[in-house]
Amino acid sequence: MYLLFDLDGTLTDSQIGITRSVDYALRTVMNIKTEDLSTLTNYIGPPLINGFMENHHVDLETSKRCVKAYRERYEKIGLLELEVYKGIPEMLETLHKAGFKLAVATSKPEVFAKQILKNINLADYFETVCGATLDGKIDTKDAVIAEVLNRLNDLDKDNCLMIGDRKHDIEGAKKHNIKGIGVLWGFGTKKELENAGAYKLFKTPNEFTNWIISKKDC
């Protein structure tokens, strides 16, 4: 069985690095200073190009400038400003030993995702790490999942799950007829994930691990 994991809000708590980099972009491009960075958590999960347009109501060209400014800070500092959620290393170790095939499917640029996973010593657990491209050709969760499926060409969709904390993970999985698992330790709410059509919801990594191991043993 293949398990596709989101990164931000699922494997790592990346709030500080992302929100500080969004704040930097808003200040640099539009001279907007955000006093409470927790108000910027909506940027965690969906593609940034959409985030600036939806959350700050800017046009496409301004959003592109914001993304460029964001990456100026993020690639130097922001990608280091994160923590691995409690229980994630143990979950991955258990799943790997149990024979599950693991992959990462993230809307974060792939080059950043690979560097982060290497920095936090989790890279070796994954068959492939797939993310957005810097040129924008792959930028939605739907497109990222499509690329993962292309790379894992022996994948059986009936034996595949997408695990993530936001509606984009669940909706992207559904477009490819894959069941989406919602995790409640990230940035999405129970209501958001239920409305998106999550197959199951889990409160902790250990709870998910016990469930998926039991399904495998059936």
Rounded distance between C-alpha atoms, residue 7 and residue 5, angstroms: 6
What CATH number should be reported for the domain whose range is 2-13+83-217? 3.40.50.1000
Left, alpha or beta for 3 (phi > 0: left; psi -120 to 50: alpha)? beta
Task: At 4, give phi and psi (nearest 5°).
Answer: -100, 125
Helices 15-30 and 60-74, interaxial angle, to 10°?
130
Residue 217 pLDDT class (50, 70, 90 cuts): low
**Does 3.50.50.60 match the CATH number of domain 15-80?**
no
pLDDT in tens, 105-114: 999 999 999 9
What is the arithmetic mean of pLDDT over 152-168?
Answer: 90
| Three-class SS state of 83 | strand
With 90 as the cut, is the pLDDT of residue 8 above it? yes
For residues 69 and 215, the model is more confident at 69
Terminal Cα-to-Cα distance of the chain (whole angstroms): 13
Residue 104 pLDDT class (50, 70, 90 cuts): very high
With 70 as the cut, is the pLDDT of residue 218 above it? no
What is the arithmetic mean of pLDDT over 137-155?
Answer: 90
pLDDT in tens, 171-212: 999 999 999 999 999 999 999 999 999 999 999 999 999 999
**Global confidence as pTM:** 0.91
What is the arithmetic mean of pLDDT over 27-54?
Answer: 92
> For the chain, what is the mean pLDDT?
94
Q: In what order do the strands lie in the sheet with 179-183?
A: 128-132, 101-109, 2-5, 160-164, 179-183, 200-202
Q: What is the percent of the chain with per-residue pLDDT over 70, rounded to a whole number?
A: 99
With 90 as the cut, is the pLDDT of residue 72 above it? yes
Task: At 181, give phi and psi (nearest 5°).
Answer: -100, 125
Q: What is the percent of the chain with per-residue pLDDT over 90, rounded to a whole number?
A: 90
Task: At 39, give phi and psi (nearest 5°).
Answer: -75, -5
What is the arithmetic mean of pLDDT over 53-72?
Answer: 95
CA atoms within 13 A on the CB side of 70: 25
Any idea which residues carry the catalytic annotation?
6
Listed in sequence order, the DSSP H helices in 57-133 are 60-74, 88-97, 110-119
β-pair partners for 201: 182
Token pair belonging to 169: 């993970």
Domain boundaries, the chain: 2-13+83-217, 15-80
AA letter at 36: D
